[in-house]
Amino acid sequence: MSQVQVYYSNNPDNEGIALQIGPGASLNDLLLAWQPLCDESAYGKKYASNLDQSCRGCTHNCCDTAYVIPDLIAFKKLAGHLRCTFKALLGNYFQPEKRDIGLLRMIPNPCVFLHNRLCSIYPIRSLICRFYLCSTLRGDTEQLIYYISSLGMTATHVFARQEGLLAEKPGTISSMDRLFLELFKKYSSDPLLQYFLDAEEYEEIPLYPFVKRARL
């Protein structure tokens, strides 16, 4: 039996997609359980032309304008996939004006990795992309997803600064930029951040510590 089970809660006070997580689950177990939801027609999707449409057939395509910041594991895998240095990865695929103010956002409008309306790096895409689902999530599930994704993105910025790849300079900061900068400042001292800094694979990250902390 899988360490992570996905189910739907019909409770009017807490309706939505929910998770049941075993004590031995890893982040990869969560990703494996989550992936089928993209093509699940039983849960309505807010932005699809038909509520029961799969993500694969969606014409809204959130990849066009998404603010994509990779988690550290995805960031490293992407550099390996493209056979380039981290510096070259940042120089070719991330917005220079965002890098100047201390943010690592992939080039958008559409996403630089969106080819013929399909993600060209789908197997190694970032957590923020893997977890995005325009269906209703139960509150504690949404909080867990948000927490894990935030720590993963924060780890990328911590790593980039440690490697001398990122330095903040004066520049124009949008409200969305400020939100992320404040988020990363908040999570840079979180003790669970070290899991992302140490891991090379999602299997190496135990899920239960994140579940316990997300409930605080």
**Domains in the chain: boundaries:** 60-214
Helix ranges (DSSP H) in the chain = 27-34, 72-82, 86-93, 96-100, 127-131, 139-162, 175-187, 193-198, 208-214
pLDDT band at 32 (very low <50, low <70, confident <90, very high): very high
pLDDT of residue 42: 64
∠212-213-216 over CA atoms, to 5°? 100
Pair 77, 124: CB distance under 8 Å: yes
- Confidence check: pLDDT of 80 > 80: yes
What is the tens place of the pLDDT at every residue in 160-179? 999 999 877 777 789 999 99
Structure tokens at 146: 């948000």
Q: What is the mean predicted confidence (pLDDT) over 199-211?
A: 96
Pair 214, 140: CB distance under 8 Å: yes
pLDDT of residue 10: 77
The percentage of the chain sitting over the pLDDT mark of 70, rounded to a whole number, equals: 88
Summary mean pLDDT of the chain: 88
The percentage of the chain sitting over the pLDDT mark of 90, rounded to a whole number, equals: 63
The closest of 17, 20, 21 to 37, measured between CA atoms, is 17
106 beta partners = 94
Q: What is the mean predicted confidence (pLDDT) over 23-43?
A: 87
- Confidence check: pLDDT of 135 > 80: no
With both helix axes pointing from N to C terminus, report the angle between 139-162 and 175-187 in degrees, rounded to the nearest 10.
80
Q: What is the mean predicted confidence (pLDDT) over 206-216?
A: 86
pLDDT of residue 58: 65
What is the tens place of the pLDDT at every residue in 81-91? 999 999 999 99
Q: What is the mean predicted confidence (pLDDT) over 102-120?
A: 90
- Confidence check: pLDDT of 27 > 70: yes
pLDDT of residue 1: 62
